[in-house]
């Protein structure tokens, strides 16, 4: 199976998200992207394939988050990732991902069916965008962009999208079918929405899912060991 896993961290040593998860696979390549030299050197002692991005480190959490959103949403633009048939993104703070789970879902939903993107149904936020917004306001880095989220949400509703949807999604774990004819469009559209919305990508994905609903499958199974 032509599959790879990837994650990232951009920022300084004091950033709360400075971490790396247990490697999800030995069978498949697992890439970790960072601009933090200390973390990069730590990764050299693991089975992660560390990719160093020589870009400035900032203590601005919004700017650091935005750097990571590019690779999260647009892996097709990265030389290490662009030739894989399937990609699994995992947040760098998640529990150990089950390699077998990913393989089985690829077989079931990409090979035997024709989905472009698989991700988890949110386990406690229900299906109204303002519930996601309210929960996000409990985290400082999201609160900083409060007005931007409000303007973005209202703009999407004014454009004809709904403030409610079935199966609101959590975006810390993504399995992509890179062979699907719609995946590049989904990736690029999501990133463009993030630029407008802000770093809380579950808010923007709420509307992306409505635009590409037939190609996206939310699931309730737990993908962690």
Tens digit of each residue's pLDDT (9 = 90 or more) over 161-212: 999 998 999 999 999 999 999 999 999 999 999 999 999 999 999 999 999 9
pLDDT of 48 above 80: yes
Residues 6+ apart with CB under 8 A from 205: 169, 171, 190
DSSP-derived 3-state class of residue 40: helix
Average pLDDT, the chain: 95
- pLDDT score at 31: 98
DSSP-derived 3-state class of residue 71: helix
pLDDT of 18 above 90: no
How many residues make up the chain in this entry?
225
Q: Residue 42's CB: how many other CB atoms inside 10 A?
A: 16
DSSP code of 109?
I
φ, ψ at 179 (rounded to 5°): -90, -10
What's the rounded Cα separation, in Å, for the pair 109 and 176?
Answer: 10
What letters, b where the CB count within 10 A reaches 16 and e where it falls short, cover 49-77?
A: bbbeeeeebeeebeebbebbbbbbbbbbe
pLDDT of 126 above 90: no
What average pLDDT does the segment 58-69 reach?
92
87 close to 175: Cβ distance less than 8 angstroms: yes
| H or E segment to which residue 170 belongs | strand 169-177
Model confidence at 130, pLDDT cuts 50, 70, 90, reads: very high
| H or E segment to which residue 103 belongs | helix 99-105
What's the rounded Cα separation, in Å, for the pair 72 and 81?
Answer: 11
What's the rounded Cα separation, in Å, for the pair 6 and 22?
Answer: 12
């Amino acid at each position: 199976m032509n599959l790879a896993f990837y994650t990232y961290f951009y920022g300084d040593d004091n950033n709360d998200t400075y971490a790396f998860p247990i490697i999800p696979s030995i069978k498949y390549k697992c890439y970790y992207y960072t601009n933090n030299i200390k973390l990069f050197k730590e990764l050299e002692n693991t089975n992660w394939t560390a990719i160093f991005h020589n870009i400035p480190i900032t203590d601005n959490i919004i700017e650091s988050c935005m750097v990571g959103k590019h690779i999260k949403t647009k892996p097709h633009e990265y030389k290490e990732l662009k030739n894989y048939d399937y990609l699994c993104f995992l947040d760098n703070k998640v529990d150990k991902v089950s390699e077998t789970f990913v393989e089985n879902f690829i077989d079931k939903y990409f090979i035997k069916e024709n989905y472009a993107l698989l991700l988890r149904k949110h386990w406690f936020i229900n299906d109204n965008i303002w519930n996601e917004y309210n929960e996000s306001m409990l985290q400082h880095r999201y609160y900083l962009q409060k007005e931007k989220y409000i303007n973005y949400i209202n703009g999407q509703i004014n454009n004809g999208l709904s403030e409610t949807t079935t199966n609101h999604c959590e975006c810390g774990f993504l399995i992509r079918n890179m062979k699907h004819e719609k995946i590049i469009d989904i990736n690029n559209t999501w990133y463009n929405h993030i630029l407008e919305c802000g770093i809380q990508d579950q808010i923007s994905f709420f509307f992306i899912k409505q635009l590409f609903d037939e190609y996206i499958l939310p699931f309730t199974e737990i993908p962690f060991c």
